[in-house]
Structure 1
Amino acid sequence: MFVVEQAGTIRIVENGKVLPQPFLDIRDRVERGGEKGLLSVAFHPRYRENGLFYVDYTTRTNRLYTHVSRFRRTDEHRADPKSETVVLKIHQPYSNHNGGQLAFGPEGYLYIGMGDGGSANDPHGHGQNRNSLLGKLLRIDINREALPLRYTIPEDNPFIGKFGHRPEVWAYGLRNPWRFSFDALTKRLYLADVGQDDVEEIDVIERGGNYGWRVMEGDICAPGVNPDCDRTGLKPPIQVYRHPEGFSVTGGFVYRGNSIPGLCGVYLYADYVTGRLWGLRYDGSKVRASREIAKTPYRISSFGEDRNHEIYIADHA
Structure 2
Amino acid sequence: MILKWTKTLLLVSLLLLLVQPALAQVDTSQYQWVEVVSGLENPLLVTNAADGSGRLFVVEQTGAIWIIQDGQLSQEPFLDVSSLLSNDVFRGGYSERGLLGLAFHPDYETNGLFFINHTDVNGNTVVARYQVSADDPNIADPASAVTLLTQQQPFENHNGGNLAFGPDGYLYIAFGDGGSQGDPQVNGQNTATWLGKILRIDVNADTYTVPDTNPLVGQVDAKPEIWAYGLRNPWRFTFDRETGDLYIADVGGDNTEEVNFQPAASTGGENYGWRVWEGYDQRTQEQTNGEPVPPVATYPHSDGCSISGGYVYRGEALPDLQGVYFYGDYCNGRIWTLYQDDAGAWVSARSAWTPGQFVVSSFGEDEAGELYLVDYKGVIYRLEAVS
TM-score (structure 1 length as normaliser): 0.93
Partner of 2:129: 70
SS in structure 2 of the partner of residue 289 of structure 1: strand
> What are the superposed Cα offsets for residues 187-246 of structure 1, whole Å, 9 maximum, x if unpaired?
000000000110000001341000000001111012xxx1x5667611000010001101
Partner SS for 1:181: strand
Residue of 237, 252, 267 corresponding to 1:195: 252
Asked if the contact 2:161–2:235 (Cα under 8 Å) also holds between the matched residues in 1, the reply is yes
1:90 equivalent to 2:151? Answer: yes
- What's the CA shift for 1:260? 1.5
Matched letter for residue 201 of structure 1: E
Give the distance between the partners of 2:350 and 2:100, measured in 1 at CA: 27
Partner residue, 1:275: 333
Larger fraction in helix: 2
Match of 1:242 among 300, 305, 317: 300
**d(CA) in 2 for partners of 1:36, 1:118:** 12
For residues 271 and 132 of structure 1, what CA distance do their matches in structure 2 show?
28
1:223-262 correspondence runs (5 A): 226=284, 228=285, 233-262=291-320
CA displacement, residues 89-115 of structure 1 (integer Å, 9 cap, x when unaligned): 010011100000000000100000000
Counterpart amino acid of 1:176? N
Shift of 1:290: 1.9
Alignment of 1:119 with 2:174, yes or no, is no
Q: Distance in 2 between matches of 1:285 and 1:300?
A: 31
Question: Cα distance 1:175–1:285, how it changes in 2: closer, same or farther (>3 A)?
Answer: farther
Of 99, 102, 109, 1:41 maps to 102
Whether 1:298 and 2:358 are equivalent positions in the alignment is yes
1:307 aligns with 2:362: no
Please point out which of 98, 102, 112 is paired with 1:51. Answer: 112
Looking at structure 2, the residues matched to 269 and 287 of structure 1 have their Cα atoms a distance apart, in angstroms, of 18
Report the number of matched residues: 307
Secondary structure at the residue paired with 1:64? coil
Structure 1 vs Structure 2 CA RMSD:
1.5
Contact 2:200 2:214 in 1 (8 A): yes
Report the CA distance between 1:285 and its aligned residue: 8.4
SS across alignment from 2:110: helix
Query: How far apart are the structure 2 equivalents of 1:54 and 1:230?
Result: 36
**SS in structure 2 at match of 1:28:** helix
> CA–CA distance in 2 between the matches of 1:12 and 1:299?
21
| Equivalent in 13, 33, 58 of residue 68 of structure 2 | 13
Q: More relative contact order in 1 or in 2 (CA 8 Å, sep 6+)? A: 2
CA distance in 2, matches of 1:137, 1:106: 15
Deviations 1:232-278 (CA, angstroms, capped at 9, x unpaired): 61100001000110110000000011111221100110001110111
Structure 1 residue 295, shift from structure 2 partner: 2.5
In structure 1, how many angstroms separate the alpha carbons of the residues matched to 2:79 and 2:341? 39
Q: Is residue 221–residue 229 contact of structure 1 (8 Å, CA) maintained in 2?
A: no
User: Is the Cα–Cα contact under 8 Å of residues 203 and 238 in structure 1 kept in the other structure?
Assistant: yes
Tell which structure's C-alpha radius of gyration is larger. 2
* Aligned residues of 2:341 and 2:347 also touching (Cα < 8 A): no
What residue is the counterpart of 2:275 in the other structure? 214
- Alpha-carbon distance between aligned partners in 1 of 2:166 and 2:328, rounded to the nearest angstrom: 22
Partner SS, residue 311 of structure 2? strand
Cα 1:285–1:24 change in 2 (3 A) is farther
- Residue 39 of structure 2: aligned partner: none
Shift of 1:86: 0.4
Match of 2:11 in 1: none
Does structure 1 residue 158 correspond to structure 2 residue 219? no
Instruction: Work out whether residues 238 and 286 of structure 1, in 8 Å CA contact, stay in contact via their aligned partners in 2.
Output: no
Q: Is the 8 A contact 1:100 1:114 kept in 2?
A: yes
Aligned-partner Cα distance in 2 for 1:285–1:52:
42
SS at match of 2:83: coil
CA spacing shift, 1:286–1:217, aligned 2, 3 Å: farther
TM-score scaled by length of structure 2: 0.77
> How far, CA to CA, are the matches of 1:257 and 1:182 in structure 2?
14
Residue 83 of structure 2 is aligned to residue 23 of structure 1: no
Matches of 1:285 and 1:208 in 2, distance apart?
A: 26
Rounded Cα–Cα distance in structure 2 between residues aligned with 1:286 and 1:236:
16
Aligned to 1:185: 242
